[in-house]
Structure 1
């Protein structure tokens, strides 16, 4: 089977998400054939350092035999069973127990789905369901942040604060509201401190809730660190001030830990890193280290009691997915959590984070870099046309995509996100691999600067 035949078969049959479909018919795919640790290999045998853990998710790399073995055992024992109407499986029970044990705040129950979008979509439904149980049926409005990413289903995309996920899809739905992205570099005012910026954003949220009517606002969704929005780390005091507003108006906090859960920020949860006290936690991605599709909601006792009362009144909890709590996925999740804990994977993240921060620090002087930001093993640089004014490159230049492509040519997977470039290597990477990631990325930046200069500042080449 030749590369060209696979390439043409892909173009002929396969729709790729988050892709220019017309351009794909010309460019075709890069076809990955195998993975080993922090590396992946295409069908020409070229090696790439996976600097994005796939989509933030392959936390244990690409060749963890323990996960493959446990999946095989479960496939040979009970490959599938559903959890509707009082049915269950041992892997689902054990994974729920383990998740509650490591939860960032005390939680009551776990509800399983298959993706982050499904988890956030379900969380929206539970907010509505809970407030119906409380007799507060008007509490339906949901607030998120501009540049947030919560998924691409109809409801979760409505939460998401990225315009290209809304345009021509008739989204967002009515009742989904957005407030300022907490990116101090871009949104802070001249002379404003981070604390003052956080105060201003908390006041903005308070004023929005008051304007809409507190009796109509049900929940605030927040990623501890905004991932797809560009690795936006919250400014000083942000979540403390935001949570005070939510408590004032009896608005639930949903922590979207789809990216930040299971060590990405240096703790088990981003909620721990930023002292968030959520009523619901959504998680996915590293829950199984991406070896199987699985997501989960961790639900507080307060919310569970509302769900319980409502389902008793109606006669059934009218929600569920065919593959929710899939036994193979749950078995892999159990083993992934064992590895994170027993092998000290999460305990080692702060040391790797310090290495990455040190390796990236010299980029602060690069002519194309306005800001370096990050925590744990999720980092980004802000691309600027002018460091002094913070002027970004015009969107039609697609400068970030040019940097991403040059990194890919050099065997590094990174991701262009708006005006930034993100790096999020697997949690099992070595310090030497972190150094190599930054070295290859620096080469891509330098090559992009050379092309930009050669064009007289008109293109990224």
Structure 2
């Protein structure tokens, strides 16, 4: 990328030479480097050359309240001047950590009243694993350790959470834990067998979970991880009733149900938490991050039920401690930002905007189904995936060498819109403050980008 500004060119080169990016394509990075984002306002970001883009990615499922919030900056500054940090180990705390814990307990469903903090979603899910193992040890069930997850699920990038992640592409070249972690198939209605009803598909997936628990042995299975809507795996919305029925199966065998709301919490589906409001379940644990601070500062939380807390809060041996937590657990600046972020979400009724504008967003994007390569438009509110195929009838994919998702994203970028490419798909997770005008621009720009991509693919013989 050639920046005309010498300072930006210098930044670009320093980044390319020294910054290892997550999910980097090393085959192209040496030549292309990274786009420098220099500023943002509301639903837009600006690159190092001064070009403005509507952010259809929300940073990465993150910037729910939009960019440029002075209140957040002030909350950071105020807390830094009061006390920027103190360890939460043992018998110390800060006011923001205490206040946020109470607020999350108020917002979370059922008896999920207790909070452990970390720096993001991976840590929140890692904490859930360690906590559940400890819980069953305390109950005298030391064999109850195994974890069930799903193909195409995404739960993080630590060693354990990447093992729980079921996106096989992400495992290439890396080691993962294969004894503790077991996967059942993805509940993707779009890819169900031809002629199978949604009800029969749901029956099959629920039975598969029960069969897996029985295969591994109920005395050995500790937990089931489930995103309410699977995000990085392609925005998979399971069939109606799936979550309620899988939770019932888990509880039948004493398996804890972990709802990974790292993406879905704090408004993305129009609710502070989606588990109960959208899917009718009260899980044993909810993990969250991203929208908790709208990405303004790192923070994640693992919210647990009274049932779990009342077991783990008993000393397991004389003089023993609850030896879990992190240097930055309950970081006061991060907690102060989360409190201000939640205040903004509530005061400005951003969840309501996500419901009304999100419904409009869904309906307008579904109009793209008239395009010959758009096989599926799925998701809810401000969490949508467009799946592109070579043949709508057979759902056959376009040759991977065509990099159709990248092509569409590149055409969008040229026109001032950022969307996320994921193989043959494009994912949209914009700030929750989008207006009708923003949505109309996004959808029309995306339509043009897909049309240009179709033309490119025909010219190059991919279609």
Matched, 1:97 2:102: yes
What residue is the counterpart of 2:237 in the other structure? 233
What residue is the counterpart of 2:71 in the other structure? 66
What residue is the counterpart of 1:422 in the other structure? 427
The match for 1:380 among 376, 385, 388 is: 385
Shift of 1:371: 0.9
Aligned Cα root-mean-square deviation (Å): 1.3
CA separation in 2, counterparts of 1:164 and 1:121?
A: 21
Moved more, 216-225 or 356-365: 356-365
What residue is the counterpart of 2:45 in the other structure? 40
Kept in 2: contact 1:262–1:268 (CA 8 A): yes
What residue is the counterpart of 2:368 in the other structure? 363
CA separation in 2, counterparts of 1:322 and 1:406?
A: 43
Measured against aligned partners, the alpha-carbon deviations of 1:356-401 in whole angstroms (never above 9, x if no partner) come to 1221122111101111111121111111001111111232332212
CA separation in 1, counterparts of 2:103 and 2:314?
A: 26
Kept in 2: contact 1:38–1:428 (CA 8 A): yes
Q: TM-score, normalised by structure 2?
A: 0.96
The match for 2:224 among 220, 225, 230 is: 220
Change (3 A) 1:312 1:330: farther
CA separation in 2, counterparts of 1:15 and 1:446?
A: 34
Kept in 2: contact 1:282–1:295 (CA 8 A): yes
Shift of 1:310: 4.5
What residue is the counterpart of 2:197 in the other structure? 193
CA separation in 1, counterparts of 2:195 and 2:172?
A: 35
Kept in 1: contact 2:221–2:255 (CA 8 A): yes
Kept in 2: contact 1:52–1:422 (CA 8 A): yes
Structure 2 residue matching 1:348: 3-state secondary structure? helix
Structure 1 residue matching 2:160: 3-state secondary structure? helix
1:18-37 equivalent positions in 2, closer than 5 A: 18-37=23-42
Shift of 1:67: 0.7
The match for 1:259 among 252, 260, 263 is: 263
CA separation in 2, counterparts of 1:106 and 1:212?
A: 29
CA separation in 1, counterparts of 2:400 and 2:167?
A: 14
The match for 2:333 among 328, 332, 338 is: 328
CA separation in 1, counterparts of 2:150 and 2:421?
A: 20
Measured against aligned partners, the alpha-carbon deviations of 1:323-359 in whole angstroms (never above 9, x if no partner) come to 1111000000011111111111112211011211221
Change (3 A) 1:96 1:311: farther
What residue is the counterpart of 2:417 in the other structure? 412
Shift of 1:64: 1.0
Structure 2 residue matching 1:304: 3-state secondary structure? helix
Size of the alignment, in residue pairs?
A: 457
The match for 1:396 among 381, 398, 401 is: 401
Change (3 A) 1:191 1:210: same
Kept in 1: contact 2:106–2:113 (CA 8 A): no
Kept in 2: contact 1:155–1:173 (CA 8 A): no
What residue is the counterpart of 2:3 in the other structure? none
CA separation in 1, counterparts of 2:411 and 2:317?
A: 58
CA separation in 2, counterparts of 1:223 and 1:418?
A: 21
The match for 1:283 among 282, 288, 291 is: 288
CA separation in 2, counterparts of 1:73 and 1:262?
A: 24
Shift of 1:235: 0.9
- Structure 1 gap ranges (5+): none
What residue is the counterpart of 1:210 in the other structure? 214
Kept in 1: contact 2:144–2:220 (CA 8 A): yes
Shift of 1:441: 1.0
CA separation in 2, counterparts of 1:379 and 1:312?
A: 49
Kept in 2: contact 1:39–1:48 (CA 8 A): yes
Kept in 2: contact 1:400–1:417 (CA 8 A): yes
Shift of 1:189: 1.6
Kept in 1: contact 2:402–2:462 (CA 8 A): no
**Structure 1 runs of 4+ with >6 Å offset:** none
Matched, 1:143 2:148: yes
CA separation in 2, counterparts of 1:125 and 1:377?
A: 32
